[in-house]
Amino acid sequence: MNRTDDRPLVLVDAHAHAWRPADARTRFRAGLTGPTAGVAAGHTQVNLISVPADWAYDMLLFCQRNPKPCPVLDVTDAGSHTTVLADGADLRTDLPRYRVWRDGELVAEPTDVRAHWRDDLVSFLIGCSFTFEWALTEAGVPIRHIEQGRNVPMYVTDRQCRSAGRLHGPMVVSMRPVPPEHLAAAIRESSLLPAVHGGPVHCGDPSVLGIGDLGRPDFGDPVEIAPDDIPVFWACGVTPQAVVTASRPPFAITHAPGQMFLTDARDAQYRVLSAA
């Protein structure tokens, strides 16, 4: 993997957290790449998967059956490259980097997919856990991968999602090390944002999820974990990419892990009221 392409945008521009989403999309359209953790603070980030229309019902059903890793925020009409989540945006150009899949195999990782676009593609925009990181930060929870200038580590688990039609595969999780004194806040704050994965699926021993080595993530970068930190795992929107690998649809376009689509929506729109 080319680590130059994976450098966090906060290293490219120290003010990335203050960018407007439209400004961030303009920079991506011009060729800027890198993980989007910490970019456009307070605005919702989403994962992308585009599949042929004859696979769209299977994908919609898969998301409905697996809302934790695949919380859908928008679905486009076939062939459309726009979304109500971002006025004037183009889903073919406005992400930092894409992945193109054929028969379950990764064949390209361009910064622009207009040459690969098809008129029958239906796009699913799926909530991303980068969105709730600002709520964690405001609650005093340290975000290690941002502190260390790295992409969030993501792991393929041994937990199988509920299948839907022709689609099946394992759940992917993102991991953030959390000091014990901040664990309750991390669980509480993320749980108030179910549209971007909500609360964690597991805290503690990674082997429970079939993860053998936290230092070797399947996607993203390893992070340094403080001695007392507890590994906390959230369902991840890279799950559809693991499903593409397992189910082998003839064609798909996704975002590159950690390089998300910046929407105009505010995080607060998806925050539910506390039970208290």
Assign domain 3-130+246-270 to its CATH architecture: 3-Layer(aba) Sandwich (3.40)
Q: What is the pLDDT of residue 2?
A: 35
Q: What is the pLDDT of residue 178?
A: 98
Contact between 82 and 91 under an 8 Å Cβ cutoff? The reply is yes
Name the band, by pLDDT with cuts 50, 70 and 90, for residue 16.
confident
Contact between 91 and 236 under an 8 Å Cβ cutoff? The reply is no
Distance CA 68, CA 53 (A): 24
Distance CA 32, CA 40 (A): 15
Q: What is the pLDDT of residue 169?
A: 98
Distance CA 204, CA 185 (A): 16
pLDDT digits (tens, 9 = 90+) for 111-133: 999 999 999 999 999 999 998 99
pLDDT digits (tens, 9 = 90+) for 29-78: 999 999 998 899 889 999 999 999 999 999 999 999 999 999 999 999 99
Contact between 203 and 176 under an 8 Å Cβ cutoff? The reply is no
Instruction: Tell me which residue of 56, 45, 30 sits closest to 118, measured CA to CA.
Output: 56
Percent of the chain with pLDDT over 70: 94
Tell me the pLDDT of the chain averaged across its residues. Answer: 93
* Type of residue found at 243: V
Name the band, by pLDDT with cuts 50, 70 and 90, for residue 10.
very low
Contact between 251 and 8 under an 8 Å Cβ cutoff? The reply is no
* Average pLDDT rounded to a whole number, residues 229-252: 98
Name the band, by pLDDT with cuts 50, 70 and 90, for residue 273.
confident
In this predicted structure, the answer to whether residue 136 has a pLDDT above a threshold of 80 is yes
* Average pLDDT rounded to a whole number, residues 219-248: 97
The b-or-e profile of 142-153 (16+ CB within 10 A means b, else e) is bbbbbeeebbbb
Q: Where are the domains of the chain?
A: 3-130+246-270, 131-235
In this predicted structure, the answer to whether residue 102 has a pLDDT above a threshold of 50 is yes
Measured in degrees and rounded to the nearest 5, phi and psi for residue 178 equal: -125, 130
Contact between 157 and 172 under an 8 Å Cβ cutoff? The reply is yes
Structure tokens at 58: 């299977």
* Average pLDDT rounded to a whole number, residues 139-156: 94
Q: What is the pLDDT of residue 41?
A: 85
Distance CA 232, CA 75 (A): 30
Q: What is the pLDDT of residue 14?
A: 58
In this predicted structure, the answer to whether residue 202 has a pLDDT above a threshold of 80 is yes
Name the band, by pLDDT with cuts 50, 70 and 90, for residue 174.
very high
In this predicted structure, the answer to whether residue 274 has a pLDDT above a threshold of 70 is no
Q: Give me the CATH topology for the region 131-235.
A: PSTPO5379-like fold (3.30.2040)
